[in-house]
Amino acid sequence: MDKLGIEPSLLLAQIVNFLVILVLLNKLLYKPILTMLEKRKKEIEDTVKITERLKKDEARMEEKHEKVLTKAREEASSIIEEAKKQAKDVEKELIAKAHEEAFTIITRGKEEAKEVVTRSHAAVAKQAVELAVVMAKRLLDGILNAKEQHDVIGKKIKDLEVWANRL
């Protein structure tokens, strides 16, 4: 090996140095890097698992959300229908009450009109009697004496009262 320019002691020293560097690099760099890479690989796998689980959870939540929305829409629809039904019932009630009140008002108006007519007839009859008395007094003042006047007036007043009571 001398002919090749290789000294065995230097070669041995270089081999020992190479092995020392190899052991040091293995201990200080290669194993920590492999450990870190393995750790990173595990973290990535965990993250992927968590992501898959979250996607599944999200899909389940979306499904639940859709079910809840569907149920809420159905309930809202039924509530609206019930409210419409109640509104129609209230409307019917109000219309019935309005008809009853209108009938009551009309009946009361008819009764009041009858009373007014009755009072008017009585007032007209009374005025007719008074007018007849006045006319009879004027006519009879010149023709009959006081006793005859009184008898005629009394008879006519009775006739008028009978006539007024018929009305």
Q: Using one digit for the tens of pLDDT, what is the confidence trace for 44-96?
A: 999 999 999 999 999 999 999 999 999 999 999 999 999 999 999 999 999 99
pLDDT (average), residues 1-12: 77
Residue 43 has pLDDT above 60, yes or no: yes
**Of residues 165 and 97, more confidently modeled:** 97
* Contact call for residues 137 and 105 (beta carbons, < 8 A): no
Averaged pLDDT score across all residues of the chain: 87
User: Please, which residues have CB within 8 angstroms of residue 153's CB and are 6 or more apart in sequence?
Assistant: 133, 136, 137, 140
Residue 161 has pLDDT above 90, yes or no: no
Between the CA of residue 139 and those of 28, 124, 131, 132, what are the distances in Å? 157, 22, 12, 10
